[in-house]
Structure 1
Amino acid sequence: MQRKLLFLPLLCIAFLQAQAQSTLSVDYIMRDPVWMGTFPSNASWSDDSQTIYFRYNQDKDPADSLYKLGLSSKGEFSKVSWKEMKANERDGQEFNTDRSLRVYQMDKKLMLENMSSRTSEMLIEWPENFNNPKFMANEQEIAFTSKGNIYIWNRANKSVRKATNISTESKPKDKSKGDDKVEWLESENLELLAVVRERKENAKMRKDYREAFNQSEKEEFVYYTEGKSPGSLQLSPDGKFASFSIFTSASNKNTKVPDYVDASGYTVDLNTRSKVGNAPTKVEIGIYDLQRDTVYFLNAADLPGIKDLPDYVTDYPDKTWEEKDRDVMFSGLYFSPDGKSAIVNIGSADNKDRWIASVDLQTGKLTTLDRQRDEAWISGPGIGRSFYAGTLGWLPDNKHIYFQSEESGYSHLYLLDVTTGKKKALTSGEYEVFDPFLSKDKKSWYLTTSEVDPGERHFYKMPVLGGKMDKLTTMTGNNEVSLSPDEKKLAIIYSYSNVPAELYIQDNKVGAKAEKLTSGQSDEFKAYNWRDPQLVRFTAEDGAQVPARLYKPDPAKSNGAAVVFVHGAGYLQNVHKWWSSYFREYMFHNLLTDLGYTVLDIDYRGSAGYGRDWRTGIYRHMGGKDLSDQVDGVNFLVANHGVDPKRVGLYGGSYGGFITLMALFNAPDTFKSGAALRSVTDWAHYNHGYTANILNTPEEDPIAYRRSSPIYFAEGLKGNLLMAHGMVDVNVHFQDVVRLSQRFIELGKDNWEMAIYPVEDHGFVEPSSWTDEYKRILKLFNETLIED
């Protein structure tokens, strides 16, 4: 009797599995995405605000093309011809203050366009290539850069002058300082030979006469860079100062990735990135005083906290830490509109500090206006670090600067009065601000925020000095807005969880209704009822509320098994109400749910969209809270959604592959099976820019690397592991899984397999590769989580 009772659950599972079918298949959903339809992106406007441009592919071309839709065209759009694109191109364009004029370059011609009459005139045809044309504060002069120097065109007298005199050559040696041996020989020779002595004396007399005659002529100033090439050359709006950057790259060893299927038939080594622990690139900012003919460089030595050591040094009591100025990176000078003041963004090379400082243009002295310190690492939407200045600039009053900061725990927009040092938060709350910009009249801000919900993005307007934010978009999901130049219309790329992007247009008014302009879904795609995943939160072991997407099967078809998906990139958001960049995985989750699986997609610690504490929750321990969040997600499914704790698998790519490995090695009683795709196995072998922020460097913080790298925990593998990796992956190198495979062999593990893809980089391209990979993933789950 007992044997019959034990057999009944297995019969039920077999029955349910037989009933659980799907109209989807891996072959079907992993085809070239063109089968889904065509979806718009990158909306922009014509200068007269009468035409919307966007990327599209209505004709199923090999790639998206530029399309246009006129506001008077009754919804009909057409592909933009190459000729029309060239006619509308404005390379290096720059507007004057009221946007009535535009300067741009066309070939080697400097052009000026009247925006009301839409007519252009050539100002000058320059003999060399040039770039970066800019109106100066008086708007009668236009500066541009050519061959490493700045030139100024005067519109009134139609003349051009050279503003800077920078040479990449070495400074000529001072001829007055001669060689002692040569001078002795010359002296002896002149004493012996009278005619030679007389000729030299006559020559000196002539030279002295010429110099006396020309003594009123000032010797031309030249700044020699000694072979270094200056970059980011710019002139202050008042024409009194110029600034430039000198980049000195460190010599770091790069790794090689063999390409075994090169068209030549030979194995070709791809020269790729170096590994974490790079020496930083040195960046110097020079100020060229055009009135005093002198150059001086910014010096970070007086920045507050420049010698501060990170907190983690206390974990190494036996090591002596040298107290010294940390390396910093400048991201360029920002001149005030009148050119009389300047600020600079500075990031420490260890990325734990960001300073915004005012610059004394007469001396180069820095005065700190704002310091952002994070014992983890500086980041977040719009926040400058290293070479990237983020959201940073001046208001037209030449008094206030604006920037974003995570001071409150979320990235918000701030104003700072440079004359008083007083700082004001323009936005606040448990949400983040994205891509703020000033209106045409400089009296308002336009900005996107997540104020409504972390899973939504809406567009707002706000007074320039702060105040009530007017919400302009209303559609639930993601509203990616392009504002027309006349600021009367919004072009919106909008999508929802189960609805891919479409183009909409809306009046720039609160409460205005958006009108749909495109319908890109194919009939084939629309034939399936794509799920709108439920957004849930579950409680983590430390009390945090973890957001997730939940896909629930029909109770009559549920097989009791669950699959947890781990998104890649670490700092990325996938629990939201818009069409996911992981659209293939989204379709795969619909297939799994049809087959009776419960699927959970978690925005684990380290994910974007939830503020500073969530972002830095993985500092010095990847595979810590980000892994425990996956485990807690499984506990949530078991407790609330009828999942069998012995039938849980997980999968993910890149960072998701890394978590999959850590889960199978360190939580083997929670996860029975996993598919680790293009996964990092040892963080000491990944790149510097990403890894050093989170784990510092292996030389200085080996504890962080040892507890964060799956290769050190391989002996913990109990369940079933599939690894899949592209062999020409120049991001996470194939070497990662090769080294881990050798560890498995040495440990005697036999419950793993590896699928290799000879033609694939980090992001797969070929539909055949996607299909093969996901067939293997589905087979793994079906055989280990369902079949017993």
Structure 2
Amino acid sequence: MRRLLPAALVAFAVLPLAAATVPAPGPLDLETIMANPDWIGQAVESPYWSVDGRSLYYSLKRDGSPVRDLYKVDPASGQGEKLDPAAMAQADGPAVFDRAHRHAAFILHGDVFVVDLASGRRQQVTSTPQKESAPQFSADGRVLQYRDGNDWYSYDLAAGVAAPAAVLKFADDPQARQPDDLGELQLKLFKTLRDIKADKQAMRDEDKALDAADTGRAPQPFWLGGKSRAIDTELSPDGRWMLVVTVPKDHAKGEAPKVNHYVTDSGYTEPRDARTYVGRNDPAAQSLLLLDLRDHRQYPLKTDTLPGIKDDPLKTIRAQTVAALEKAGKADQAKALKAPDVRAVRIIARSEDGGGGGIVWSDDGSHLAVQLRAIDNKDRWIASVDFGRHALVDQQRLHDDAWINWNFNDFGWLKDNRTLWYMSEETGWSQLYTKTPDGKARALTSGHYEVSHPLLSDDGKWFYVRTNQVAPYSYDVYRLPVGGGALSRITNYQGMDDFKLSPDGSRLAVLHSSPYVFAQLAVQPSGGGAARELTNTMKPAYTAHDWIAPKIVEVPSSHGAGVIYAKYYGPADESAAASRPAVIFVHGAGYLQDVTLSSTYYFREQMFHNLLVQQGYVVLDMDYRASEGYGRAWRTAIYRQMGHPELEDLLDGKAWLVKNHGVDAKRVGIYGGSYGGFMTEMALLRAPGEFAAGAALRAPSDWTSYNDEYTSNILNDPQLDPAAYRTSSPIEFAANLRDPLLIEHGLIDDNVMTSDSIRLYQRFIELHKHNFWISLYPMERHAFEHADSWHDEYRRIDELFNTYVKPVKQAVVGN
């Protein structure tokens, strides 16, 4: 039941580690497990291949510092080193290649570099204070394109000259202004004015003629008007087209709440703006503008022809709310909820790892696809662009009565430059599809498992994907032919986190982890085979502990939901199963998967669970409904009723503990942070008496004060769907409090506002409730950073449980 480091990791380490002989550790204590986690080791971060494919780079956090050091390792020999500043200046960055593999390009310290692969000659293209990004080669390989913000540049490899691909001016063309009647009178009366106007026109005509004859001249600006601004631009590889995404320049985000910083360098309280509350103002509608850089023309791409764009998926809810407002004499509010004739859209945002962007060109620049999402979050469209008609052509519409997933929006073009590939949850599970613009979609994968991280090999023959095909909690790399066929398993870690294909396509660099091992780097053949472990960054003081390997269990749902997967922590000897206390841990984020064979984000909590077992408890950590990894129906079960299906699952978990592990039903505690804190509050307030005590950390207690992007997906807007917010907010159930509740919150949290906890606390005061406490942390945001705060936070949780869950008379809850 207990597991230490895999033997392969123990055998080799790139990093110099402490001596292998470590004194046997004593019992766990809070001082140790809540200390600065540098004593545990570091996760390998951001691996990438060198340009020549002979080395791998990766980053590690430096002990005692937030600085990330860069390391380089030879995957063939396993020999590696930490790079000093001089060596870092000569390192490669994550590279892109031209279609013929003659050149590579990358970004290093914010500047662009290009490498001639035959000679190895490296050339720095830019040296600027701003940070360039997104290097890509032109379709013919002669030009390197890159961007600075929303401005694109083209660097001619042969000439060694860089020039703007286009000049965008968000203002009205001063030369295009037509005279009004007074101006026409002036021109009619005064020959000098007519001569000046003719001279200016002659100069413009000459510039146009010179531009047409000399491609080395800077391009003429596009005047795009003063009513909008760009939030994204994408240049076609052939340099012919640019797609511009705009929003209204005067769009108001709405009033932002203030976060007061009390402990400051200045000694004064410093208020700072946080994000806007949901429903205070809809996100800005986005528009698309196609620029023809060759003919210097611009064309708006209208979205009003997308299928379903004029539907109102919230028609029934809207009618109910409007009727209620009209009955209450609030006609103005009712009028404001009128459905738009055409729904506004946004381009699907690019994810942090660079995947899932909303605009994709084919390699040769002949095809463009755009991914759009309705602002009401009910529809996603993938549309190609007809360059002849300057119009969007729908290729796939994905509708969801609840909300479109944040994940599984990756898409692109195959190497044939005419076939789309994309991810979709249309079957209820994320799967991979291909489609020609004039053909039917073809499913490349199918089944009750999730496919993600699609990577197309450079030769265009294979897709590499991450799936949990074997079990919901087990992830590995698989590959399948682009033309369709069986998934072949490539890695066998069960805890695979990410992967990178080598430049020649022959090897995979794999990040993998396990419950007590942070992400480590390995390399193996891309077609499958033995892996070579390249790092071991865990420290002996940590690995020497006899950590409890969480046992993955299946908790039956009593509400028809099937199986709820969970991690169980208990003693090695279960035979003495007397009446015992238990704690249920609730993971955060809602849509997050914590029941896996990978390392957990909650590594401190996992150590705390070991401490609880040492103190006589058993612990259950559940992937309740809304968790990631279990398909669409599991994800959307909470639509308009957050905290309800999840509570059913948590109560089923409690019943399972009582039935299978000798747990006393009257001695079960519950705790969690963020969404887990929300669920702790919902558990105590909607099921009073079921839990002996609860600790709610940084919990959203009123969803009307959370952000738009997350909340409106699940609960719609509060003005439109107030019933969903009343049903889903703990503060609405405050009168039900009867069990001890500890609330803990960072005072400078700008994600979940501290006011959520303070407002709930005030409700308890006014309701004359007992046994509730609040602990505020002046130097902490949503994710705590400082060891002292972590220790204090968990000391209080430990004392809460030892007082009210486990009968320890002498323990006292701190105030």
Shorter-chain TM-score range: 0.7 to 0.9
With over 3 angstroms needed to count, the CA separation of the structure-2 counterparts of 1:122 and 1:572, relative to structure 1, is: closer
With over 3 angstroms needed to count, the CA separation of the structure-2 counterparts of 1:452 and 1:752, relative to structure 1, is: same
Residues 160-206 of structure 1, C-alpha deviations (whole Å, 9 max, x = no match): 776545323322266662453x777998xx6xxxxxxxxx5588589
**Per-residue deviation at 1:289?**
2.0
Q: Distance in 2 between matches of 1:439 and 1:328?
A: 32
Map of 1:47 onto structure 2: 51
Residues 132-157 of structure 1, C-alpha deviations (whole Å, 9 max, x = no match): 55322222344455797655555567
Q: Distance in 2 between matches of 1:655 and 1:44?
A: 33
2:436 is the counterpart of 1:417? yes
Q: Distance in 1 between matches of 2:795 and 2:195?
A: 93
- Which of these residues, 664, 685, 689, is aligned with residue 705 of structure 2? 685
Q: Which runs of 5+ in 2 are unaligned?
A: 1-24, 212-219, 324-337, 349-357, 810-815
With over 3 angstroms needed to count, the CA separation of the structure-2 counterparts of 1:116 and 1:782, relative to structure 1, is: same
Trace 1:546-565 onto structure 2 (pairs within 5 A): 546-553=564-571, 554-555=573-574, 556=576, 559-565=579-585
Helix, strand or coil for the counterpart of 1:636?
Answer: helix
Helix, strand or coil for the counterpart of 1:273?
Answer: coil
Helix, strand or coil for the counterpart of 2:244?
Answer: strand
Which residue identity does 1:369 align to in structure 2?
A: Q
Trace 1:29-178 onto structure 2 (pairs within 5 A): 29-56=33-60, 63-71=67-75, 74-90=77-93, 94-103=96-105, 112-121=114-123, 132-144=134-146, 152-155=154-157, 164-172=166-174, 177-178=179-180
- Which of these residues, 593, 600, 607, is aligned with residue 627 of structure 2? 607
With over 3 angstroms needed to count, the CA separation of the structure-2 counterparts of 1:413 and 1:212, relative to structure 1, is: closer
2:427 is the counterpart of 1:408? yes
Which residue identity does 1:448 align to in structure 2?
A: R
Map of 2:727 onto structure 1: 707
**Per-residue deviation at 1:529?**
1.1
Which residue identity does 1:361 align to in structure 2?
A: F
**Per-residue deviation at 1:527?**
2.8
2:398 is the counterpart of 1:396? no
Which residue identity does 1:460 align to in structure 2?
A: Y
Helix, strand or coil for the counterpart of 1:288?
Answer: strand
Helix, strand or coil for the counterpart of 1:691?
Answer: helix
Trace 1:46-445 onto structure 2 (pairs within 5 A): 46-56=50-60, 63-71=67-75, 74-90=77-93, 94-103=96-105, 112-121=114-123, 132-144=134-146, 152-155=154-157, 164-172=166-174, 177-180=179-182, 200-201=190-191, 222-227=221-226, 228-248=228-248, 249-277=251-279, 278-311=281-314, 313-314=316-317, 316-317=319-320, 319=322, 321-322=338-339, 324-331=341-348, 332-379=358-405, 381-383=407-409, 391-420=410-439, 422-445=440-463
2:535 is the counterpart of 1:518? yes
**Per-residue deviation at 1:327?**
1.0
With over 3 angstroms needed to count, the CA separation of the structure-2 counterparts of 1:216 and 1:634, relative to structure 1, is: closer
With over 3 angstroms needed to count, the CA separation of the structure-2 counterparts of 1:61 and 1:240, relative to structure 1, is: closer
2:29 is the counterpart of 1:25? yes
With over 3 angstroms needed to count, the CA separation of the structure-2 counterparts of 1:98 and 1:284, relative to structure 1, is: same
Residues 372-417 of structure 1, C-alpha deviations (whole Å, 9 max, x = no match): 000110015322xxxxxxx111112122101100011111111011
**Per-residue deviation at 1:568?**
0.5
Q: Distance in 2 between matches of 1:50 and 1:612?
A: 41
Map of 1:15 onto structure 2: none
Helix, strand or coil for the counterpart of 1:626?
Answer: helix
With over 3 angstroms needed to count, the CA separation of the structure-2 counterparts of 1:40 and 1:699, relative to structure 1, is: same
With over 3 angstroms needed to count, the CA separation of the structure-2 counterparts of 1:87 and 1:691, relative to structure 1, is: same
Which residue identity does 1:42 align to in structure 2?
A: S
Q: Distance in 1 between matches of 2:438 and 2:757?
A: 56
**Per-residue deviation at 1:115?**
1.3
**Per-residue deviation at 1:469?**
2.0
Helix, strand or coil for the counterpart of 2:492?
Answer: coil
State the structure with more CA Rg: 1
Helix, strand or coil for the counterpart of 2:471?
Answer: coil
Which residue identity does 1:658 align to in structure 2?
A: F
Which residue identity does 2:447 align to in structure 1?
A: G
Q: Distance in 2 between matches of 1:779 and 1:647?
A: 14
Q: Distance in 2 between matches of 1:36 and 1:591?
A: 16
Aligned residues: 745
Which residue identity does 1:37 align to in structure 2?
A: G
Helix, strand or coil for the counterpart of 1:47?
Answer: coil
**Per-residue deviation at 1:300?**
1.0
Question: Which of 1 and 2 has higher RCO (CA within 8 Å, sep 6+)?
Answer: 2
With over 3 angstroms needed to count, the CA separation of the structure-2 counterparts of 1:168 and 1:202, relative to structure 1, is: closer
With over 3 angstroms needed to count, the CA separation of the structure-2 counterparts of 1:113 and 1:520, relative to structure 1, is: closer
Map of 2:546 onto structure 1: 529
With over 3 angstroms needed to count, the CA separation of the structure-2 counterparts of 1:106 and 1:740, relative to structure 1, is: closer
Alignment RMSD? 3.1
Map of 1:497 onto structure 2: 515
Q: Distance in 1 between matches of 2:241 and 2:527?
A: 42
Q: Distance in 1 between matches of 2:57 and 2:204?
A: 61
Q: Which runs of 5+ in 1 are unaligned?
A: 1-20, 191-199, 384-390
**Per-residue deviation at 1:498?**
3.6
Worse-superposed segment, 475-484 or 740-749: 475-484
Residues 655-693 of structure 1, C-alpha deviations (whole Å, 9 max, x = no match): 011110111111112112101111111000111111110
Which residue identity does 1:490 align to in structure 2?
A: L
Map of 2:217 onto structure 1: none
**Per-residue deviation at 1:433?**
1.1
Residues 693-745 of structure 1, C-alpha deviations (whole Å, 9 max, x = no match): 01011100000000100001011111111111111111111111111111111
With over 3 angstroms needed to count, the CA separation of the structure-2 counterparts of 1:173 and 1:720, relative to structure 1, is: same
Worse-superposed segment, 277-286 or 744-753: 277-286
Contact kept in structure 2, 1:557 and 1:596, CA below 8 Å: no
Contact kept in structure 2, 1:722 and 1:754, CA below 8 Å: yes
Map of 1:625 onto structure 2: 645
Helix, strand or coil for the counterpart of 2:805?
Answer: helix
Contact kept in structure 1, 2:517 and 2:599, CA below 8 Å: yes
**Per-residue deviation at 1:579?**
1.8
2:494 is the counterpart of 1:476? yes
Contact kept in structure 2, 1:565 and 1:600, CA below 8 Å: yes
Contact kept in structure 1, 2:587 and 2:673, CA below 8 Å: yes
Map of 1:386 onto structure 2: none
Which residue identity does 1:525 align to in structure 2?
A: Y
With over 3 angstroms needed to count, the CA separation of the structure-2 counterparts of 1:774 and 1:558, relative to structure 1, is: farther
Q: Distance in 1 between matches of 2:385 and 2:110?
A: 34
With over 3 angstroms needed to count, the CA separation of the structure-2 counterparts of 1:241 and 1:552, relative to structure 1, is: same
Map of 2:333 onto structure 1: none
Helix, strand or coil for the counterpart of 2:553?
Answer: strand
Which residue identity does 1:521 align to in structure 2?
A: M
With over 3 angstroms needed to count, the CA separation of the structure-2 counterparts of 1:660 and 1:132, relative to structure 1, is: closer
**Per-residue deviation at 1:448?**
1.2
- Which of these residues, 770, 775, 784, is aligned with residue 795 of structure 2? 775
| TM-score (normalizing by structure 2) | 0.85
**Per-residue deviation at 1:238?**
3.3
Q: Distance in 2 between matches of 1:780 and 1:465?
A: 58
Helix, strand or coil for the counterpart of 1:690?
Answer: helix
Helix, strand or coil for the counterpart of 2:565?
Answer: strand
Trace 1:563-602 onto structure 2 (pairs within 5 A): 563-602=583-622
Helix, strand or coil for the counterpart of 2:343?
Answer: coil
| TM-score (normalizing by structure 1) | 0.88
